Amino acid sequence: MPGEKPVDLADRRALVHLPGLGGPTGPAYDPRLGDVDEWGRSERVRQQVRRLYDPVYRKLFRVEWEGLEKIPKGPALLVANHAAAIPSDAPVIMHGIEEELGRPIYGLADHFFRQLPVLGTLWSRAGGVVAHPDNAYRLLREQRQLVLVFPEGTKGSSKTYAERYRLRRFGRGGFVEIAMRSGVPVVPIAVVGAEESMPTLTTIPALARLLGLPYFPITANMLLFGPAGLLMYLPAKFKLRVLDPVYFDVPPDQPRYSRSRVMEEAEGIRQRIQEALYDMLSRRQSVWRG
């Protein structure tokens, strides 16, 4: 009967086994061989990627940061504007944060990446995580990490060159709700340069449907370099400005947050990034030299 005597689970271990086998070694013992964490990120792979990517970051894009010190010491949700047919902003931000601050960062993205053979695995080893609210909550609230997300999603990266630096709708403000529930600030980042690194001239929706892609772009890079244009970015000068973190004065772990408040905050963050972009663009002398 429950409660009458303490349960001795050790007793139960004497189940029939091959004789002479090593028994349980306890949960503390872990005979793992690799360093892939629960999110699929591997520090070893990340190091390799950083080594290979560093010339792109320093020589091609000549990245300049402004206000990096505004990123809090604890967990935070970084949000930025999204651009380029094959987005160049995500690797730049992730590389920059890891190099400059020496902290790991996880990038949330559409589950589309996870479906791709080879690339999906690499994406995950390099710190990509499927944008699921549970994943974001666990990373931010329980593991106190830095997480990057692009609220525009593919609406941002699929827009054509004619619409450059005009921010799209920030989804339904899901990122604000996640930050509120996790009790972390949102840190907006304005990125200049990504739009010109791989400008989309037009998209072919019929081909996208056929191939099961979110969009099928025809980029300036493709016209210049042919199929290699899928991998080659134009040497646009990157400038990133970290804006003041937004703290929400609400208790974490609520089942629900006010819809209107969430939308209002999301729109406010979108406007601040938009204004910062206009400010940075008005000061820019040249697309290539900054």
Partner 1 sequence: MGKRVLVTGLGTFWGGRVAQALERDPDIEVIVGLDTTEPSVELDRTEFVRADENYSILARLVKAARIDTILHTFLVVDSTEVSPRVLHESNVIGTMNLLAAASASGSTVRSLIVKSSTHVYGSNPEDPVWFTEETRRSRPPRTLVESSLLEVEGYLRDFAADRADVSVTVLRFSNVLGPDIVTPLACALELPMVPCIAGYDPRLQFVHEDDVVRSMLFALEHDVPGVFNVAGDGLLPWSEVARMCGKRLFPLPPIGTGLAARALKLARTCDLPPEALEVLRHGRGVDTRQLRRHGFRYDYTSAGAVEHFWQAVRLRETVGEVEPIYRYERDVEAFFRHSPAVVRDEAP
154 touches partner 1 (CB under 8 A):
no
Other CB atoms within 10 Å distance of the CB of residue 271 = 13
User: Residue 254 is encoded by which pair of tokens?
Assistant: 């609520």
DSSP3 helix / strand / coil % (the chain, rounded to 5): 40, 15, 45
Rank residues 135 and 160 by Cβ distance to partner 1 and give the closer one.
135
Distance of closest approach, residue 284 Cβ to partner 1, in angstroms: 39
Distance of closest approach, residue 115 Cβ to partner 1, in angstroms: 5
Other CB atoms within 10 Å distance of the CB of residue 108 = 21
Sites for partner 1 among residues 11-30 (CB under 8 A)? 11-22, 24-27, 29-30
Q: Which of 49, 90, 129, 276 touches partner 1 (CB under 8 A)?
A: 129
CA torsion sign for 132, 133, 134, 135 is positive
256 touches partner 1 (CB under 8 A):
no
211 touches partner 1 (CB under 8 A):
no
User: Residue 1 is encoded by which pair of tokens?
Assistant: 């009967």
Say if residues 93 and 191 touch (Cβ distance below 8 Å).
Answer: yes
Other CB atoms within 10 Å distance of the CB of residue 192 = 26
67-75, 134-142, 211-219, 238-246 -> range binding partner 1 (CB under 8 A): 134-142
Distance of closest approach, residue 135 Cβ to partner 1, in angstroms: 5
227 touches partner 1 (CB under 8 A):
no
SS3 readout for 217-255:
EEEHHHHHHHHHHHCCCCCCCCEEEECCCECCCCCCCCC
How crowded is the C-beta side of 21, counted as CA atoms within 13 Å? Answer: 9
CA dihedral 202, 205, 209, 212 (to 10 degrees): 30
| Closest to 112 (Cα-Cα) out of 128, 91, 88, 93 | 128
Binding track, positions 83-122, relative to partner 1; x by CB under 8 A: ----------------------------xx-xxxxx-xx-
Alpha-carbon gap, residue 208 to 126, rounded angstroms: 26
Rank residues 14 and 52 by Cβ distance to partner 1 and give the closer one.
14
Size of the site for partner 1 (CB under 8 A): 46
Rank residues 9 and 52 by Cβ distance to partner 1 and give the closer one.
9
8-16, 145-153, 187-195, 201-209 -> range binding partner 1 (CB under 8 A): 8-16
Write phi, then psi, for 68 (nearest 5 degrees): -60, -30
Sites for partner 1 among residues 34-93 (CB under 8 A)? 34, 36, 38-40
Rank residues 133 and 252 by Cβ distance to partner 1 and give the closer one.
133
Distance of closest approach, residue 25 Cβ to partner 1, in angstroms: 6
CA dihedral 87, 93, 94, 95 (to 10 degrees): 100
Rank residues 38 and 69 by Cβ distance to partner 1 and give the closer one.
38
Q: Which of 71, 78, 85, 130 touches partner 1 (CB under 8 A)?
A: 130
Query: Which residues lie near partner 1 (CB under 8 A)?
Result: 1-2, 7, 9, 11-22, 24-27, 29-34, 36, 38-40, 111-112, 114-118, 120-121, 129-130, 132-135, 138
